[in-house]
Structure 1
Amino acid sequence: MEILKNVILAVHIIGVASLLGGVLVQLGAQRSGTARIIPAIIHGAWTMLVTGVILVGLQYPLGREPDNLKITVKLVILVAILVIALVNRKRETLARWVLPTLAVLSITNVVIATVWRQYA
């Protein structure tokens, strides 16, 4: 079960890389006004959502109690990322706030995942 958790965690990290990488690539295009929500951003966010739910579900059979507040905060941020990306994916030109907001929210999720620890 621990191996399965680690494989799912690796896929989760790949989702983060896809989301953040897609945003960073498009930040360069934003200067010329050609920035778009590319599939890497959408697929990365969905991958994070699905694997995150699986990771939380795997905590119980492993005998661990997930930090529900942390998971809720991360989920709310990820839902905001998904909503922003999905609403703007068909637009020819993006508002200047879209990509920086996605970048900040993505980085915030990574910081929460790595810094926020549950202490008993």
Structure 2
Amino acid sequence: MQVSFSPLLLAISIGPDHESYELLRHGRVFAVSVLRANQQRLAEHFGTQSGRTLDKLASIPWQTATTGAPLLLDALAHFDCEVVNDIEAGDHRLVVGRVVDGATVGPDGEPLIYAETGNLDMSASLYPDSFR
């Protein structure tokens, strides 16, 4: 999510027990690739397999961003970020990054939005039927 216009900052939320968090913590950079609406399977590939047992990028076309973070070539857009803050947020970490580069790769597509991913992150059982 965007958290600031000036400087341009994005935040991501990540579980500290994920292998990706260790890479992020040591590398201090990350990239956000905005997937296309028809890339649900790609979201599943990255969202459901542990990095401990698999090189998630091995079968996916990608390139190295300015910071060294991976950018997915078939994404709709991307943001390349340097970590400026890492904050405890309940059972996750909120990692804030300053955008150092970005591009719209495919201006003719629609983005895949979180609501369309269904129960990909297995969080449906965490939400009540209604909020009071």
Q: Same fold by TM-score, threshold 0.5 exceeded? A: no
Which protein has the bigger strand share?
2
More helix by share: 1
TM-score normalised by structure 1 residue count: 0.29
